[in-house]
Amino acid sequence: MQPRRPPPPAPGPRGPRPAALLLGLWLLLPLALQGLAAPAEPGWRQDAELPPGLLEQAARAALHFFNFRVGSPSALRALAAVQEGRARINPKTGYRVDLVFTTELYNPEEGQERLGKCSAQVFFRNQKPRPTINVTCTRLIEKNKRQQEDYLLYKRMKQLKSSLHAVSIPDSHGHIDPSLRPIWDLAFLGSSYVMWEKTSQFLHYYMAQLSSVKQWKTNDGAIDFDYTVLLHEFSTQEIIPCRVHLVWYPGKPLKVKYQCQELQTPEEASGTEGSAVAPQEFTNF
């Protein structure tokens, strides 16, 4: 008499067999990916035809935000090119833009071409400024070198006269004296916050000129100065003056306060204002 073959083990109480479980996960994977790709909020749809210039507008806004958050004049970046992007639209709220773009040093040395890449998600609310931004960039300059250059710029600023009145940077010929370059770079750093707050889907700004600068002496050794910046708004071609107060010390958070006088309508003559403190260290840098 042959011995009986033992029956196969019954499925355990925890569920199906591993093979069946893997098959189920494989079948559910496309659905999970679709869920990740789609926005969680209802009412969003993919925009097949992007509004002209929307990707470049989003990249500029992301860079203004990034420059302010880094808080280092030696790490300032300028937009090189947008590589790819897409937009989702919700007619009730606005545009959400996902994009990848390359950057370059704001003050590149002669013959130097150093590019970094950034990925960002930018949310433009309908007819509202100050887009919401999440941006991550590859390292463009080593931290130690950046700190050294920031300290050299700090020393140059401390050697300048304590009071500078009726200064036009750049001059009428578009030239910036090398001795005044630190002032321009720090002003650009502070103005990046102003330009980000004022940027919308349709409005973007460029720092055209500094019309006045006054540096203050401080007990803690920080660079503390007031300046008036003229911002060129490209869509309306208007020049908007903004008074900015900036406090900066290498390795410490950047502090910015500003007040701008809008020129569009009499109702806006009182202007806009804001203030912010950049974090100690930008983790995405």
Q: Encode pLDDT of 61-78 as tens digits.
A: 999 999 999 999 998 999
Most confident of 22-26, 47-51, 102-106, 226-230: 226-230
Q: Is the pTM of this model over 0.85?
A: no
Determine how many CB atoms are found less than 10 A away from the CB of residue 79.
15
Task: Place 10 in a pLDDT band, splitting at 50, 70 and 90.
Answer: low
Least confident interval from 87-101, 121-135, 185-199, 210-224: 210-224
Task: Place 264 in a pLDDT band, splitting at 50, 70 and 90.
Answer: low
In this prediction, residues 7-30 reach a mean pLDDT of 46
CA gap 70, 118 in Å, rounded: 14
For 118-156, the pLDDT digits (tens) are: 999 999 999 899 999 999 998 777 888 889 999 999 988
Most confident of 115-119, 245-249, 250-254: 245-249
* Cβ neighbours for 85, distance < 8 A, ≥ 6 positions apart: 50, 55, 58, 97, 98, 99, 100, 101
% of the chain at pLDDT higher than 70: 71
210: buried, middle or exposed (CB in 10 Å: 19+, 13-18, 0-12)? buried
- Domain locations in the chain? 54-277
CATH topology of domain 54-277: Nuclear Transport Factor 2; Chain: A, (3.10.450)
Q: Where are the alpha helices (DSSP H) in 173-277?
A: 181-198
pLDDT at 30 over 50: no
